[in-house]
């Protein structure tokens, strides 16, 4: 459209109200104020966000409903002036790092259902509103003429304007208003337009259209939302559009490619696979889709690798979609190699363990009831879940839920990482005995060891030995205990350490994390009561039961980073980081990383901190995988941080925005700093990114993935400044 047309439209506007306001700095994603616009009275006012609002609506996503309830009464109809259109966005919308993740929730009384209807839309309107300085807004009343509400966050003013000449067609209107309010081509990215189409005048199902400027195509891109006719409510108020202009949002459409959308081309070929070979693999796993990862691993080992034909055969024989197998395959690249190198391989010895009194605790307690077992464990004070609970309480909770539901209970051993996996090489029968004692405490009949590729064979060998010696199976040692263990393959890597990802993997789904609303002891594997401990906990259970009064728990630590000192060993649970380093004999420099790839960087004067989850968190580190990485003093720390964040970004399953986009954004900033083009304000952005990723990521992987950045900024900020100011 011509510039003359835009000028003509602009000149036809009549400003009915102009309202100026003070800008605010967002605090953890909150502006702590809302906006109320009355298009009948042409008034605009700012209202505070109260503590009560935050307590009721965690994350701010319910502020729209809160505002609505302040306006309506039992007699309010969809076309009543007091029927508000309310919009809000959660705190994610208030971070420059996530310009596309702040979903906007919109509510109004629906002309179709005559009840409160809400809808949500992705994209950028929520962040635009946040950076204008408002957590939510409500528009009430009815205008007498076609109007536009314009929020200008650059000049900090809001206007209600008559707009007689603009189009009714949504796409044209969005382009007209973007052209009208943008100062230049770059500024077009900063404008969001909310409008509704011509059809909303003639039907009660009009939708709202949210538009943002697609600078690559030089057109307005439209996202629709508004089930139940919220667009019709907007037209009834004679509001042609709501426009927000900001100067913070210059990076739309920069969302990284989701790895799940990419075909795993490095694994899948067009070669042929003998159908009989695939059939044998499927038969080995009883046509059970729960073993999807194991089946894929069998294919990877074949000379021709994974082929499209083989995936097709797996799909047919397990009655599972091809997409499910491709999805698992795309996240299973660590089957070819692990983040954690193998230490050594050893054969489990049933005689050596027995010679040291192994399985004696089990034999002495085979005829004891559940209460006796848990009471003895309770007396030992054996902690679980990084000190958040105790082993006896987890076992007791699982038993109670299983009895209440008349459901089976399950026991799981997470041995995915180096520290826990190596225990299944060095002392697998202690883990097995611990799980058997767990079965006595919970009544479980089935258990699983979830373990990485390097240690899988040794675990299977130990389980087979136990079964041959009547220590697993039915009527164990001639008694009424029936319990069996199946060794299951982990995809490897950090993501699989998360219990929810492990449960998905065991069910034959991609090892992606999910939100956990219910304790696993109530609803875990196969949606039944489940106890999940790592190998380190299960292996100490026999000692806790046998010597409850004198039980001294240990913590298992791996020292990595120095090929000559690489080792895994046990320490008393109250040991410090320095104790672990001294016991290993490792030569360490000015910095060590505690907690694995997502661990915290600590200086040499902070190593007296105990290897305790709470104490390490205070220090800026984490217990994580239980490994301590020695950092080479000859390598610049910022290069090391970049390397760790890149590895973590590659590990992310990509399911949730904070982790996927946040790690990607942090990687880009760190690259810029290491390349010599960093700015001092990059450090504030890194800190904001890290805080947001920790606070809003879906799983424990995402919530700890920013620790390398937060800890290095805490203790070594001058190193960042030196790289920036070189």
Annotated domain spans of the chain: 3-245, 259-330, 350-549, 553-634, 637-726
Task: Specify burial of residue 78 (Cβ count, 10 A radius: 0-12, 13-18, 19+).
Answer: buried
647 vs 587, residue with greater confidence = 647
* Average pLDDT over every residue of 427-441: 96
- At the fourth CATH level, the homologous superfamily of domain 350-549 is NADH-ubiquinone oxidoreductase 51kDa subunit (3.40.50.11540)
pTM (2 d.p.)? 0.70
Percentage of the chain lying above the pLDDT 70 cut: 90
pLDDT of residue 228: 67
pLDDT at residue 267 in the model: 62
CA distance 47 to 55: 17
Q: How many C-beta neighbours within 10 Å does residue 74 have?
A: 4
pLDDT tier, 258 (very low <50, low <70, confident <90, very high otherwise): very low
E-strand ranges in 131-207 read 136-140, 147-152, 157-162, 191-196
Residue 448's pLDDT is 98
Contact (CB, 8 A) for 424 and 431 = yes
Residue 406: CB atoms within 10 Å: 6
Q: Are the C-beta atoms of 616 and 594 separated by less than 8 Å? A: yes
> Distance between CA atoms of 249 and 696, rounded to whole angstroms?
20
Phi, psi for residue 683 in degrees, rounded to 5? -70, -40
Structure tokens at 389: 């609970």
Structure tokens at 41: 């009275």
| Nearest residue to 537 via CA among 389, 339, 700, 397 | 389
pLDDT at 336: 43
3-245 and 553-634 agree in CATH topology: no
3-state DSSP assignment of residue 332: coil
Residue 71 CA to residue 82 CA, distance in Å, equals 6
- Note whether 611 and 556 are within 8 A (CB): no
pLDDT of residue 257: 45
State the pLDDT at residue 122: 64
Indicate whether 100 pLDDT > 60.
no
CA dihedral 234, 236, 239, 242 (to 10 degrees): 0
Q: CA 42 → CA 15, 20, 57, 154, 158, distances in Å?
A: 10, 14, 29, 22, 11
Q: What is the pLDDT of residue 46?
A: 97
Residue 256 has pLDDT above 60, yes or no: no
For residue 57, the model assigns a pLDDT of 64
Q: Which CATH class is domain 637-726?
A: mainly alpha
Strand ranges in 215-278 using DSSP code E only, listed in sequence order: 219-225, 239-245, 268-269
Burial of 304-320, coded b for 16+ CB within 10 Å and e otherwise, reads eebbbbbbebbbebbeb
Task: Please check the confidence at residue 102 and state whether its pLDDT lies above 80.
Answer: no
Interval 609-630 mean pLDDT: 90
Q: Quick one: which of 103, 106, 108, 161 has its CA closest to 128?
A: 103
The answer to whether the beta carbons of residues 664 and 706 sit under 8 Å apart is: no
Taking only the tens place, the pLDDT of each residue in 503-546 is 999 999 988 887 777 899 999 999 999 999 999 999 999 999 99
Strand partners, 120: 105
Give dist(CA 266, CA 379) in Å, integer: 53
- What is the average pLDDT across 250-272? 54
Residues in contact with 389: Cβ distance below 8 Å, sequence separation at least 6, in sequence order = 383
CATH, range 553-634: 3.10.20.600
Q: What is the DSSP letter of 59?
A: G
Q: Which pLDDT value is given to residue 331?
A: 75
Coil, strand or helix: which one is 63? helix
pLDDT of residue 120: 77
Q: What's the mean pLDDT when you consider all of the chain? A: 87
- Find the mean pLDDT for residues 354-364: 91
Query: How many CA atoms are closer than 13 Å to the CA of 231, on its beta-carbon side?
Result: 26
Stretch 236-255: mean pLDDT:
74
Pairing outcome for strands 85-89 and 104-109: antiparallel
Which range among 57-61, 178-182, 618-622, 656-660 shows the weakest confidence by mean pLDDT?
57-61
Give 548-617 as a 3 state SS string: HHHCCCEEEEEEECCCCCCEEEEEECCCEHHHHHHHHCCCCCCEEEECCCCCEEEEHHHCCCECCHHHHH
CA distance 409 to 531: 8
Q: Which of 315-319, 461-465, 548-552, 695-699 has the lowest mean pLDDT?
A: 695-699
Strands (E), 319-461: 383-384, 389-390, 410-415, 446-451
Count H helices, E strands: the chain?
26, 26
Span 286-320, pLDDT tens digits: 999 999 999 999 998 888 888 989 999 999 999 98
Q: How far apart are CA 422 and CA 416, in angstroms?
A: 10
Q: What CA–CA distance (Å, rounded) separates 580 from 555?
A: 10
Confidence of residue 207 (pLDDT cuts 50, 70, 90): confident
pLDDT exceeds cutoff 50 at 252? no
Computed on alpha carbons and rounded to an integer, the radius of gyration of the chain in Å comes to 30
- Ranking 43-57, 353-367, 400-414, 532-546 by mean pLDDT, the lowest is 43-57
Distance CA 415, CA 88 (A): 43
Structure tokens at 445: 């009949």
Please tell me which residue, 346 or 483, carries the higher pLDDT value: 483
- Give SS3 for 472: coil
DSSP lists the bridge partners of residue 219 as 214
The 116-121 sheet, strands edge to edge: 43-48, 33-38, 136-140, 85-89, 104-109, 116-121
**Assigned CATH topology for domain 3-245:** Aldehyde Ferredoxin Oxidoreductase;  A, domain 1 (3.60.9)
197 SS3 class: coil
Burial of 256 (C-beta count, 10 Å sphere; 0-12/13-18/19+): middle
What is the pLDDT, as a whole number, of residue 343?
Answer: 41
> Cα-Cα-Cα-Cα dihedral of 8, 9, 10, 15, to 10°?
130
pLDDT band at residue 246, thresholds of 50, 70 and 90? Answer: confident
SS3 165: coil
Query: What distance lies between CA 18 and its chain's CA centroid?
Result: 43
Please name the helix (run of DSSP H) or strand (run of DSSP E) that holds residue 44, with its range, or none: strand 43-48
**Pairwise CA distance, residues 305 & 288, whole Å:** 21
The more confident residue out of 562 and 551 is 551
Beta bridge partners of 241: 148, 195
């Amino acid at each position: 459209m011509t510039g003359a047309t835009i000028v003509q439209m602009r000149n036809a506007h009549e400003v009915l109200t102009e309202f100026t306001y003070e800008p605010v700095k967002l605090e953890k994603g909150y502006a702590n104020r809302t906006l109320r616009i009355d298009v009948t009275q042409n008034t605009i006012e700012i209202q505070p966000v109260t503590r009560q609002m935050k307590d009721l609506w965690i994350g701010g996503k319910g502020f729209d409903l809160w505002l609505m309830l302040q306006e309506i009464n039992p007699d309010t109809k969809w076309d009543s002036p007091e029927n508000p259109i309310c919009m809000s966005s959660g705190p994610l919308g208030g971070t420059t790092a996530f310009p596309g993740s702040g979903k906007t929730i919109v509510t109004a009384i629906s002309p179709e259902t005559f009840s409160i209807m809400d809808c949500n839309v992705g994209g950028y309107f929520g962040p635009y509103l946040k950076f204008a300085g408002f957590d939510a807004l409500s528009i009430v009343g009815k205008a007498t003429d076609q109007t536009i509400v314009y929020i200008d966050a650059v000049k900090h003013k809001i206007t209600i304007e008559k707009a007689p000449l603009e189009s009714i067609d949504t796409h044209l209107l969005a382009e007209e208003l973007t052209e009208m309010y943008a100062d230049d081509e770059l500024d077009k990215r900063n404008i969001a337009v909310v409008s509704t189409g011509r059809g909303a005048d003639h039907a009660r199902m009009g939708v709202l259209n949210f538009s943002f400027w697609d600078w690559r195509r030089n057109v307005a891109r439209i996202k629709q939302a508004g089930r139940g006719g919220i667009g019709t409510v907007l037209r009834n108020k004679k509001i042609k559009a709501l426009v927000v202009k900001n100067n913070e949002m210059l990076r739309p459409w920069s969302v990284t490619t989701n790895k799940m959308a990419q075909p795993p081309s490095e694994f899948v070929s067009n070669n042929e696979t003998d159908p009989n070979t695939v059939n044998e693999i499927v038969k080995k796993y009883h046509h059970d889709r729960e073993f999807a990862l194991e089946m894929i691993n069998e294919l990877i080992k074949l000379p021709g690798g994974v082929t499209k034909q083989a995936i097709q055969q797996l799909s047919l024989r397990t009655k599972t979609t091809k997409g499910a197998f491709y999805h698992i395959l795309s996240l299973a690249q660590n089957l070819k190699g692990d983040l954690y190198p193998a230490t050594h391989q050893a054969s489990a010895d049933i005689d050596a363990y027995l010679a040291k009194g192994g399985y004696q605790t089990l034999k002495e307690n085979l005829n004891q009831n559940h209460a006796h077992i848990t009471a003895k464990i309770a007396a030992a004070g054996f902690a679980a879940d990084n000190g958040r609970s105790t082993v006896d309480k987890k076992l007791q909770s699982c038993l109670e839920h299983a009895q209440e539901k008349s459901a089976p209970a399950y026991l799981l051993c997470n041995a995915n990482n180096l520290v826990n996996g190596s225990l299944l090489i060095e002392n697998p029968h202690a883990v097995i005995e611990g799980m058997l004692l767990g079965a006595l405490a919970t009544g479980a009949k089935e258990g699983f060891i979830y373990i990485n590729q390097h240690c899988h064979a040794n675990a299977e060998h130990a389980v087979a030995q136990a079964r041959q010696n009547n220590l697993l199976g039915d009527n164990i040692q001639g008694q009424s205990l029936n319990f069996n263990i199946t060794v299951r393959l982990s995809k490897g890597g950090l993501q699989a350490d998360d219990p929810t990802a492990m449960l998905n993997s065991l069910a034959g789904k991609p090892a992606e994390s999910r939100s956990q609303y219910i304790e696993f002891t109530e609803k875990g594997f196969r949606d039944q009561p489940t106890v999940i401990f790592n190998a380190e906990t299960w292996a100490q259970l026999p000692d806790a039961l046998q010597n409850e009064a004198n039980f001294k728990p240990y913590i298992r630590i791996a020292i990595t980073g120095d090929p000559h000192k690489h080792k895994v060993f046990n320490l008393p649970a109250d040991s410090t980081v320095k104790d672990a380093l001294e016991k290993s004999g490792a030569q360490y420099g000015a910095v060590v990383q505690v907690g694995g790839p997502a661990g915290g960087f600590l200086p040499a004067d902070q190593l007296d901190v105990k290897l305790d989850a709470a104490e390490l968190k205070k220090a800026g580190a984490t217990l994580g995988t239980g490994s301590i990485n020695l950092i080479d003093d000859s390598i610049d720390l910022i290069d090391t941080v970049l390397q760790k964040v890149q590895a973590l970004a590659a590990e992310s399953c990509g399911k949730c925005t904070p982790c996927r986009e946040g790690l990607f954004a942090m990687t880009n900033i760190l690259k810029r700093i290491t390349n010599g083009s960093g700015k001092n304000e990059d450090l504030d952005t890194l800190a904001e990114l890290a805080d947001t990723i920790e606070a809003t990521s879906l799983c424990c992987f995402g919530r700890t993935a920013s620790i390398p950045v937060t800890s290095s900024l805490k203790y070594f900020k001058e190193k960042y400044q030196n790289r920036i100011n070189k």
